[in-house]
Amino acid sequence: MAYRRITPKGIADSWRAQSWAIRVLRAWLAITWIYAGWDKATDPGFLTKGETGFIGDQLIGYSTNSPISWLFNSLIEHATAVGMFVIFSEFAIGIATLLWIAPTSAAFGGFLMSIVLWLASTFYISPYFLGSDTAYAVLWLVYFLTLVGNRRTVDIALDRRGAIRVGLLSVAAIASGLVGKAFAKVSEKPNTTVSGTSQIIELSKINVGETHQFALSNGMPAIIFRTKTGVFAYSATCTHEGCTVAYQSSNKSLYCPCHGAEFDPFKNGGVITGPTRDALPTVKVAISGDWVVLA
Ligand code: FES
The secondary structure of 191-245 as a DSSP string is PEEE-SSSEEEEGGGS-TT-EEEEE-TTS-EEEEEEETTEEEEEE-B-TTT-PBP
Q: Residues for the chain: how many in total?
A: 295
Ligand 1 within 6 A of 261 CB? yes
What whole-number distance in Å separates Cα of residue 108 and Cα of residue 30?
13
pLDDT of residue 265: 92
The alpha carbon of residue 130 and the mean position of all alpha carbons in its chain are separated, in whole angstroms, by 16
> Picking from 18-27, 140-149, 170-179, 231-240, which range would have the lowest pLDDT averaged per residue?
170-179
pLDDT over 80 at 137, yes or no:
yes
Report the alpha-carbon distance of residue 174 to residue 181 in Å, rounded: 11
Mutate to test the pocket of ligand 1, among 65, 258, 278 (most ligand atoms within 8 A of CB): 258
CA 292 – ligand 1 centroid, Å: 28
Going from the Cα of 240 to the center of ligand 1, the distance in angstroms, rounded, reads 5
Q: Is the pTM of this model over 0.85?
A: no
Q: Any idea of the CA torsion for 157, 134, 86, 163, to the nearest 10 degrees?
A: 10
> Tens digit of pLDDT for each residue in 254-285?
988 777 788 999 998 888 887 788 889 888 88
Q: Which amino acid is at 181?
A: K
- Residues 245, 124: Cα–Cα separation, whole Å: 20
Given the CA of residue 58, which atom of ligand 1 is nearest to it?
A: 1
Cβ-Cβ contacts under 8 Å for 29 (sequence gap 6 or more):
94, 97, 107, 110, 136, 139, 140, 143
Ligand 1 centre to CA of 286 (Å) is 28
Confidence category of residue 30, pLDDT binned at 50, 70, 90: very high
With 0-12 CB in 10 A as exposed, 13-18 as middle and 19+ as buried, what is 155? Answer: exposed
pLDDT band at residue 130 under the 50/70/90 scheme: confident
Q: Nearest-5° angle of CA 41, CA 162, CA 138?
A: 55
Q: Which residue ranges form the domains of the chain, and what is each CATH number?
A: 11-182 (no CATH), 192-294 (2.102.10.10)
Q: What are the tens digits of pLDDT across the range 105-121?
A: 999 999 999 999 988 87
- Mean pLDDT for the stretch of residues 20-38: 96
